[in-house]
Amino acid sequence: KQEVTQIPAALSVPEGENLVLNCSFTDSAIYNLQWFRQDPGKGLTSLLLIQSSQREQTSGRLNASLDKSSGRSTLYIAASQPGDSATYLCAVNFGNEKLTFGTGTRLTIIP
């Protein structure tokens, strides 16, 4: 079964620190991997999409990496801010027109 796992479920970090969120998946034959942000009571906002042929993508303070051989992706957030507090979800397209989501990491940045 194709699965996506995110550990830990929750993370608290002091403001200003750099942090890494983890995502693992069970099948290395993927089309792409996407990172989303979800604020309370809101929908998901796409942050970064990494194609199968890519190793990383960057947007501002965010950097996402992809290692298909080990079935892992990381989302690096530099110089964290209170506004970064949200739930971050990883989703994988295993090549069947659909995304399989992890259960997310709830991030709290402590001022």
Partner 1 sequence: NAGVTQTPKFRVLKTGQSMTLLCAQDMNHEYMYWYRQDPGMGLRLIHYSVGEGTTAKGEVPDGYNVSRLKKQNFLLGLESAAPSQTSVYFCASSYWPENQPQHFGDGTRLSIL
Closest approach of partner 1 to the CB of residue 17, in Å? 27
Distance CA 15, CA 81 (A): 5
Choose which of 19, 77, 86, 102 interacts with partner 1 (CB under 8 A). Answer: 102
Among positions 16-35, residues that touch partner 1 (CB under 8 A) are 31-32, 34
Q: By CB under 8 A, is residue 97 in contact with partner 1?
A: yes
Half-sphere exposure of 12 (CA within 13 A, CB side): 2
- Interface ranges with partner 1 (CB under 8 A): 31-32, 34, 36, 41-46, 49, 51, 89, 91, 93, 97-99, 101-104
